[in-house]
Amino acid sequence: MKIISVLSQKGGSGKSTISINIARCLQLKGYNVVLIDTDPQASAREWNALASDEFFPVYGCDKGISEKDIKQLEKLADFVVIDGAPRIEKSMADAIRLSNFILIPLKPSQFDIWACKDSIELVQTRMQIDERLKAGLVLSQTNKQTNLTKDVVQFIDENFDIPLLSQSTGLRVSYAEVLSDGRTVFEGQSKEAKEEITQITDEILIMLGVPNEQA
Ligand SMILES: Nc1ncnc2c1ncn2[C@@H]1O[C@H](COP(=O)(O)OP(=O)(O)OP(=O)(O)O)[C@@H](O)[C@H]1O
Ligand SMILES: [Mg+2]
């Protein structure tokens, strides 16, 4: 079982959107998936309640996950995806300690990078102790019409050790639309959004050294 945490202290960076969609992508690749919602705002649980048929189990864990939870999940899941809360607190530290992969979404603005610097540094510190821990930054809600993204990519490259995934999510209304009625991009109309989430998931699987599809 592999644990993928989607974390950042910065609110609204795209954690819930990306965690729900990559969880669905992994499921469509044939893996058993459990989504853990560690945010007391309960966005992932609310999304799950709206779904006409549950895609995969979504468990709320406002206090964060423990080793004991992980042992129980091992019987159920190939992948656990953790949707993080927008705060630095114990649940974030636990997720960092227990994860195999940490994905940090950030919007392509300097303010957003500054606002999630502490999360990035916490993950970098953990990577120095745990050599098996992998991590990636992913740009979220990018807008091709601005040049901002280029500057942000350069800043990240010069200032952080965590690699930036080559795929980002574009600013697309379809992301909000599908989640608002309990679906994912894979049940929606936007080919681009499906492609973005698939590419992001594929990059994570490569970094984890896990087969792209369940045999
Ligand atoms: N790629 C995108 N294109 C357009 N809108 C997006 C995209 N990603 C996320 N959003 C929207 O941005 C808002 C914040 O996204 P989301 O809730 O996923 O962020 P979050 O990091 O989980 O927020 P929080 O920190 O409050 O938990 C939501 O309204 C969501 O629909
Ligand atoms: Mg959220």
Domain membership of residue 81 (yes or no) is yes
Mean pLDDT by 10 residues, the chain (215 residues): 97 98 98 97 97 95 91 95 93 95 96 94 97 97 81 93 96 97 97 98 98 90
**For 101, phi and psi rounded to 5 degrees?**
-140, 135
| pLDDT at 202 (0 to 100) | 98
- 215 Cα–ligand 2 center, Å: 32
pLDDT of residue 150: 85
Residue 13: inside a domain = yes
Question: What is the Å distance from ligand 1's center to 125 Cα?
Answer: 27
pLDDT of amino acid 28? 98
Q: Is residue 184 part of a domain?
A: yes
Cα gap 105→14, rounded to integer Å: 6
Domain membership of residue 214 (yes or no) is no
Fill in the amino acid letter for 200: I
The span from the CA of 60 to the CA of 43, in Å, is 10
Report pTM: 0.97
Closest-lying ligand 1 atom to the alpha carbon of residue 86: 25
Query: Total domain count for the chain?
Result: 1
Domain membership flag for residue 24:
yes
pLDDT at 106: 96
d(CA 5, CA 103): 6
Cβ atoms within 10 A of the Cβ of 205, count? Answer: 22
In a domain, 204, yes or no: yes
CA distances from 11 to 33, 110, 125, 147, 209 (A): 25, 15, 22, 23, 30
Task: Give residues (CB < 6 A) around ligand 1.
Answer: 11-17, 39, 41, 43, 86, 140-141, 169, 171-172, 175-176
E strand or H helix that includes residue 105: strand 101-106
Give Dmax over CA atoms of the chain in angstroms: 47
**Quick one: pLDDT at residue 177?**
97
Say if 215 falls within a structural domain.
no
pLDDT of residue 66: 93
3-28: burial string, b at 16+ Cβ within 10 Å, e else: bbbbbbbbeebbbbbbbbbbbbbbbb
Domain of 71 in residue numbering reads as 2-208
Q: What is the CATH number of the domain that holds 179?
A: 3.40.50.300
Angstrom CA distances, 31 to 24, 151, 203, stand at: 9, 37, 16
pLDDT of residue 148: 73
| CA of residue 106 to ligand 1 center, whole Å | 10
89 located within any domain: yes
